[in-house]
Amino acid sequence: MNIVLLGAPGAGKGTQAAKLVEEFGTPHISTGDMLRAAVKAGTPLGKKAKSYMDAGDLVPDEVIIGLVTERLQEPDTARGFILDGFPRTSAQAVALDAELGKLERPLDAALLVDVDFEVIIGRLTSRRMCRDCGHIGSAADAVCPKCSGEMYQRDDDNETTVRNRLDVYEKSTAPLIDYYRGCDLLVSIDGDRDVDVVYADVKKALGL
């Protein structure tokens, strides 16, 4: 499966991607995770990206397109890929099409996980992430339910930054819904339900 996950930050893309990875072993390419790893490691990319991320703004297209293009060259992606958090702008979508054209690996679907913004604000401000395994949980998790690691709140999950991320999503990323609809690749599911119910729908929508 070659798929793109679309949806606002906090819609549950990462959670659904993790379930697909667990069941099918498809490589998960999350630009947010790649950038957070670069920030943690203090690489030049991480230093460049941090201020954008902390403000909830998008990292410049040329930086992120380069990162994803390189990642797609790695051999594991021949088995397919789940792109999560990319593309987020029209320029990124066009660059992705060009790259996948070169690799002769067209997209099978763009899956939209659809959730209302008010639900998302509540979800994101109470979201916690495991420092060790990246598991996505909530403020109710004292430690990671998967590996007992320390749960922390992402710097960009405070309400001010969340509101900016949603504005950025509406302006720059939501237009991609029409873009993929126009390519006849869009499938949409209601993400405001229990995780496993959403996952069953994800598989149905993707014909898995």
Task: Using CB under 6 A, pick the residue from 17, 20, 38, 53 that binds ligand AMP.
Answer: 53
58 binds ligand AMP per the rule CB under 6 A? yes
- Please count the residues of this chain forming the interface with ligand AMP, following the rule CB under 6 A: 17
* Window 132-171: contact mask with ligand AMP (x via CB under 6 A): ------------------------x--------x------
Give the separation between CA 176 and CA 84, rounded to whole angstroms: 14
88 binds ligand AMP per the rule CB under 6 A? yes
Q: Which of 183, 180, 192, 190 lies closest to 4, judged by CA?
A: 180
Residue among 10 and 189 whose Cβ is closer to ligand AMP? 10
Residue among 85 and 142 whose Cβ is closer to ligand AMP? 85
Nearest distance, CB of residue 5 and ligand AMP, angstroms: 10
Residue among 34 and 109 whose Cβ is closer to ligand AMP? 34
129 binds ligand AMP per the rule CB under 6 A? no
Q: Which of 72, 70, 45 lies closest to 60, judged by CA?
A: 45
Torsion over CA of 164, 169, 170 and 176, rounded to 10 degrees? 170
Q: Which stretch binds ligand AMP (CB under 6 A): 83-91, 101-109, 177-185, 197-205?
A: 83-91
35 binds ligand AMP per the rule CB under 6 A? yes
Q: Which of 111, 108, 69, 71 lies closest to 91, judged by CA?
A: 69
Give the separation between CA 151 and CA 74, rounded to whole angstroms: 31
Contact 69, 59 (CB under 8 A): no
Task: Using CB under 6 A, pick the residue from 85, 115, 124, 130 that binds ligand AMP.
Answer: 85
Residue among 128 and 165 whose Cβ is closer to ligand AMP? 165
Contact 161, 55 (CB under 8 A): yes
Give me the sheet containing 2-6, strands edge to edge: 28-30, 81-84, 2-6, 109-114, 186-190
Give the separation between CA 59 and CA 129, rounded to whole angstroms: 21
Nearest distance, CB of residue 135 and ligand AMP, angstroms: 14
Residues that bind ligand AMP (CB under 6 A): 9, 31-32, 35, 52-53, 56-59, 64, 85-86, 88, 92, 156, 165
